[in-house]
């Protein structure tokens, strides 16, 4: 079993910054791509950013230039640095990872429990 635990959410004023972390633990042989998604009230969950095991990244247009995804493979951890936050960034942020639990095994997608980010004055 694999667990993903997010941290770092909270309340911040518009223009402020937050850094989210997501640590993976459990039966991990290898972690491939890792992602951050978010879901605002009444909206569908959307992809915010992704990063491959080699460090290639992609971002939603709405966060390009403001958010930065990074990872520490030694710690099985992915980060999301969020700058210049806007009220429309308010959402529950979820971590997702493609994990291989044993050598030669299948990859499975795991989700964290989510962390609330609220941008408000």
Strands (E), the chain: 2-7, 10-12, 18-26, 30-39, 46-51, 57-59, 67-72, 77-82, 91-100, 107-111, 115-119
Give the Cα separation of 18 and 40 in Å (integer). 17
Q: Return the structure tokens found at 60.
A: 């939603």
Q: Which of 22, 81, 28, 32 is nearest to 56 (CA)?
A: 32
**Sequential DSSP letters for 50-76:** EE-TT--EEE-TTTTTTEEEEEEGGGT
**Per-residue confidence (pLDDT) for residue 30, from 0 to 100:** 93
Q: Kindly give, in sequence order, each residue whose CB lies less than 8 Å from that of residue 81, ignoring residues fewer than 6 positions away.
A: 17, 19, 67, 68, 69, 70
**Per-residue confidence (pLDDT) for residue 99, from 0 to 100:** 96
pLDDT tens for the chain, residues 1 to 121: 899 999 999 999 999 999 999 999 999 999 999 999 999 999 999 999 999 999 999 999 999 999 999 999 999 999 999 999 999 999 999 999 999 998 888 999 999 999 999 999 9
Distance set, CA 4 to CA 12, 25, 77, 80, 111 (Å): 24, 7, 9, 14, 6
């Amino acid at each position: 079993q694999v667990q993903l635990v997010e941290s770092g959410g909270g309340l911040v004023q518009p223009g402020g910054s937050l850094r989210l972390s997501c640590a993976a633990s459990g039966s991990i042989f290898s972690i491939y791509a890792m992602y951050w998604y978010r879901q605002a009230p009444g909206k569908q969950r959307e992809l915010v950013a992704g990063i491959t095991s080699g460090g290639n990244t992609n971002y939603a247009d709405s966060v390009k230039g403001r958010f930065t995804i990074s990872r520490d493979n030694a710690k099985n951890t992915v980060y999301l640095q969020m700058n210049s936050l806007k009220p429309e960034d308010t959402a529950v942020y979820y971590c997702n990872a493609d994990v291989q639990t044993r050598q030669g095994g299948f990859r499975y997608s795991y989700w964290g429990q989510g962390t609330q980010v609220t941008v408000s004055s």
